[in-house]
A and B are shown apart, each in its own frame.
Chain A
Amino acid sequence: MSTNQRLEVTLETQLESVDLAENIVMRASEAAGFPEDDLHRIGMAVRESVINAYNYGNSQDKRKKIRMTVEFEPGKMIVRVLDEGKGFVPEDVPDCCAEENLLRTSGRGLFLMRAFMDEFRVQKGVTGGAEVVMTKKLPHSISGNGKH
């Protein structure tokens, strides 16, 4: 896959969108030459971001949409997931690895996104809502000008 390509998908706020988003990004990542383990990590990070958008951002409101873009720039892949919620501050989410939080049944999604991608941030989307932006360095063999 050459660099400077962009893929944009509008997802319904429904459970099926979680698998769909994961599959789309894993296929794009596979085409970009990511190794198997990275495909799994990227897929899971995207899955978690769409789960957050579905559950918390859009509060499972089917009238709202989830917008996902995948961009390939020289040396990196950028995935953005935008919801139509009120936004959130990642620092306000309790540390799931802290001793006192280990038995919590939620709150690990953000941790996994951070753990599996190279860069992670949350910003206010242009249309409101939260936009999760995650970056993964492209495998060395295709970085640069997209030449193998």
Chain B
Amino acid sequence: MALQGTCREVLDVAIVDFSGKITLGEGSAMLRKMIRERVDAGHRKILLNLGDVDYIDSSGIGELVASFTTVRSAGGELKLLNLTKRVHDLLQITRLFTIFDVQSDEAVALSRFRPV
């Protein structure tokens, strides 16, 4: 299934709920576009809900890392929420848990953003 994303805001955090696959091509491009739009709109706290993302390949991983650096370069924070087991395992073996703050509870994730 192609990647789909919908954005909502809770307090000053932009939460993007994704579903589908983040893979080479449209999926990675879609993720890049949505992050760019959020940053351009002035958001500096972004939470990616990947609860319905069942597949990510190396291109998708690369795009998640690019998203992280894009937001960080703008002075913000990007966190991940609700990883499926496969995505969790993928981030674990690639050691990306050392850079991403990953949470399974939305309220907890929201509370971990630094106050502006």
Option from A15, A97, A103, A108 in Cβ contact (under 8 Å) with B58: A108
How many residues on chain B are close to A (CB under 8 Å)?
21
A-B CB contacts (within 8 Å), total count = 46
Residues of B within 8 A of A (CB): 23-25, 57-59, 61-63, 65-66, 68-69, 86, 90, 93-96, 98-99
CB pair B65–A104 under 8 Å, yes or no, is yes
Option from A97, A103, A112 in Cβ contact (under 8 Å) with B65: A103
CB pair B58–A51 under 8 Å, yes or no, is yes
* Contact flag A108-B24 (CB < 8 Å), given A48-B58, A102-B99, A103-B99: no
In angstroms, Cα B4 to Cα A26, docked, is 25
CB pair B58–A109 under 8 Å, yes or no, is yes
Option from B62, B90, B93, B95 in Cβ contact (under 8 Å) with A106: B62
Residues of A within 8 A of B (CB): 15, 18, 40, 44, 47-48, 51, 96-97, 102-106, 108-109, 111-112, 115
Nearest chain B residue, comparing its CB with the CB of A115:
B93
Question: Which residues of chain B are near A111, meaning CB under 8 Å?
Answer: 94
Question: Which residues of chain B are near A105, meaning CB under 8 Å?
Answer: 62-63, 65-66
